[in-house]
């Protein structure tokens, strides 16, 4: 008579399972050493070698996990048997040692060794055979304890996250703005100097925090920003599509340190308009009406002007179209800037933008030292707006504007022609940005913050963004 079908479950205490096949490429200890090496700054190839696997395996681990470890991988505490101890158990069994003798040699209770031989032994060939590699595989398989991701189990939460992350850009009447055509996602970083998808593009932290505002009484509608990142980057979570990483502001296919932002050259300004002469109330952000501005530059000298209010983070985009004759007439020294971003064009665009704002929101404007603000005296005379210039090579003095320009680069990448977008399309993007909740505003949107500012001054309405 043969053995009954359920003999393995009776003897080992685990359910029947298929053969594991060949031993895995590496054990959990190898992955622990690999991610520890990554944390020290090693490349994926060097970290693989340091962990005891091939460079190709290290590269595959790094890419499959999206550049982040799939779990914390805590250091071994000694509570559980290690692979070295399992090798000693296998050698002791091969020599014919008793369970108590093996346990004394390891400094473990005899019950631990007995349970190990029963639970993690192989059952191939109809007998129990203990091998260290197979026992370690059984241990690692149980240690994973797979759990369904929250986004995979909660359809309402998943839809909310996907809509805020990759939802379409819409006009005020609800119609969708398609934006530029983009190439399909290939698993790589965002395309260099090419168009990107126009989407809502909320950050995972903005989504996580806004859930508490939109669903205050529903504990099921809660998720951390790190869980969203893991659902995007770690392969096999099955919650969010991998291509949605292209909707993040950085557009990186793998998590990596941020690159340093470039610096713009400075221009000459007089002492009375330096940032040191700016009113103190502009520095502490207690009063609305103090702005920061800059240009984002595109292909063929195209540009878009950006204005950001320091207190509420409200964004206004300036349309700077080409002037008549651009591309046809020869350039004239000291002549008009036909590209559309000269001093006169920028001054007129700012004048039009501030003409739509209440007087209490026209206090100061801080700019970098670009030559496009050569007409700042005429701007002050026509609008009453005090213009001040940041110190050379000091972008942190206009940090709000620099951060906003980084957000706008998701819609207007470097190396693309920015002159093709109309005034209404720029206003739509500004409204999209102003409807994102901000951490610095306690997860209110800039539009809501500006409304509160105006209501506190008993002024009706809200500032227009284009």
Q: What is the pLDDT of residues 22-55, one digit of tens each?
A: 656 677 778 888 888 887 778 888 888 988 888 8
Q: How far is CA 22 from CA 130, 134, 307, 429, in A?
A: 15, 9, 61, 54
User: Are both 132 and 158 inside the same structural domain?
Assistant: no
User: Are both 228 and 284 inside the same structural domain?
Assistant: no
User: Are both 280 and 427 inside the same structural domain?
Assistant: yes
Residue 233 above 70 pLDDT? yes
User: Are both 299 and 318 inside the same structural domain?
Assistant: yes
- pLDDT tens figures, 82-125: 888 888 988 988 888 898 998 898 899 999 888 888 888 877 66
What mean pLDDT comes out for the span 171-180? 90
Q: Is 268 exposed, middle or buried (0-12, 13-18, 19+ CB in 10 A)?
A: exposed
User: Are both 311 and 381 inside the same structural domain?
Assistant: yes
- Domain count within the chain: 3
What mean pLDDT comes out for the span 253-280? 63
Residue 162 above 80 pLDDT? yes
Instruction: Please give the residue range of the domain that contains residue 335.
Output: 271-456
User: Are both 236 and 376 inside the same structural domain?
Assistant: no
User: Are both 434 and 352 inside the same structural domain?
Assistant: yes
Which range of 5-14, 34-43, 170-179, 236-245 scores highest in mean pLDDT? It is 170-179
Asked whether residue 1 is domain-assigned, the answer is no
pLDDT averaged over the chain? 82
CB 299 within 8 A of CB 410: no
Asked whether residue 308 is domain-assigned, the answer is yes
Q: What is the pLDDT of residue 310?
A: 94
CB 124 within 8 A of CB 130: no
Query: For residue 126, what pLDDT band results from cuts at 50, 70 and 90?
Result: low
Residue 461 above 60 pLDDT? no
> Which residue, among 127, 130, 131, 129, has the nearest Cα to 3 in the 3D structure?
127
Query: For residue 387, what pLDDT band results from cuts at 50, 70 and 90?
Result: very high
Residue 66 above 90 pLDDT? no
User: Are both 94 and 179 inside the same structural domain?
Assistant: no
What mean pLDDT comes out for the span 139-149? 72
User: Are both 162 and 135 inside the same structural domain?
Assistant: no
pTM over 0.75: no
User: 294 pairs with which residues across the strands?
Assistant: 306
Please give the residue that has the higher pLDDT: either 275 or 463.
275
Range from 15-19, 261-265, 274-278, 296-300 carrying the lowest mean pLDDT: 261-265
């Amino acid at each position: 008579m043969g053995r009954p079908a359920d003999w393995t479950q009776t003897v080992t205490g685990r359910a029947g399972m298929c053969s594991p096949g060949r031993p895995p490429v590496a054990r959990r200890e190898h992955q622990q050493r690999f991610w520890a090496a990554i944390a020290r700054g090693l490349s994926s190839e060097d970290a693989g070698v340091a962990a005891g696997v091939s460079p190709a395996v290290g590269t595959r681990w790094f890419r499959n996990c999206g550049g982040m470890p799939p779990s914390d991988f805590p250091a071994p505490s000694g509570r559980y048997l290690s692979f070295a101890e399992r090798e000693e158990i296998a050698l002791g069994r091969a020599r014919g040692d008793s369970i108590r003798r093996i346990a004394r040699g390891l400094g473990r209770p005899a019950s631990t060794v007995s349970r190990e031989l029963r639970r993690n032994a192989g059952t191939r060939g109809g007998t129990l055979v203990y091998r260290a590699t197979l026992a370690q595989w059984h241990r690692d398989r149980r240690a994973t304890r797979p759990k369904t991701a929250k986004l995979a189990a909660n359809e309402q939460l998943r839809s909310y996250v996907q809509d805020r992350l990759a939802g379409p850009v819409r006009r005020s009447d609800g119609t969708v703005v398609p934006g530029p055509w983009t190439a399909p996602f290939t698993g790589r970083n965002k395309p260099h100097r090419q168009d990107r998808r126009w989407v809502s593009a909320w950050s995972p932290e903005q989504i996580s925090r806004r859930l508490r505002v939109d669903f205050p009484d529903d504990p099921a509608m809660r998720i951390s920003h790190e869980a969203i990142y893991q659902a995007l980057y770690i392969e096999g979570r099955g919650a969010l599509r991998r291509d949605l990483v292209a909707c993040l502001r950085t557009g990186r296919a793998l998590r990596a340190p941020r690159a340093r932002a470039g610096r713009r050259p400075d221009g000459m300004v007089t002492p009375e308009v330096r940032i040191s002469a700016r009113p103190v109330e502009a520095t502490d952000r207690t009063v609305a009406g103090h702005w920061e501005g800059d240009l984002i530059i595109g292909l063929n000298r195209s540009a878009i002007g950006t204005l950001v209010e320091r207190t509420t983070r409200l964004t206004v985009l300036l349309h700077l179209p080409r002037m008549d004759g651009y591309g046809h007439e020869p350039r004239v020294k000291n002549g008009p800037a036909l590209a559309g971003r000269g001093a006169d064009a920028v001054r007129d665009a700012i004048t039009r933008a501030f003409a739509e704002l209440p007087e209490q929101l026209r206090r100061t404007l801080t700019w970098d030292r670009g030559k496009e603000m050569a007409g700042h005296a005429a701007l002050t005379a026509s609008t009453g707006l005090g213009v001040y210039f940041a110190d050379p090579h000091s972008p942190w003095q206009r940090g709000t504007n620099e951060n906003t320009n980084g957000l706008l680069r998701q819609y207007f990448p470097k190396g693309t022609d920015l002159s093709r977008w109309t005034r209404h399309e720029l206003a739509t993007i500004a409204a999209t940005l102003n409807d994102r909740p901000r951490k610095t505003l306690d997860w209110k949107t800039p539009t809501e913050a500006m409304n509160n500012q105006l209501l506190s001054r008993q002024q009706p309405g809200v500032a227009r963004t284009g």
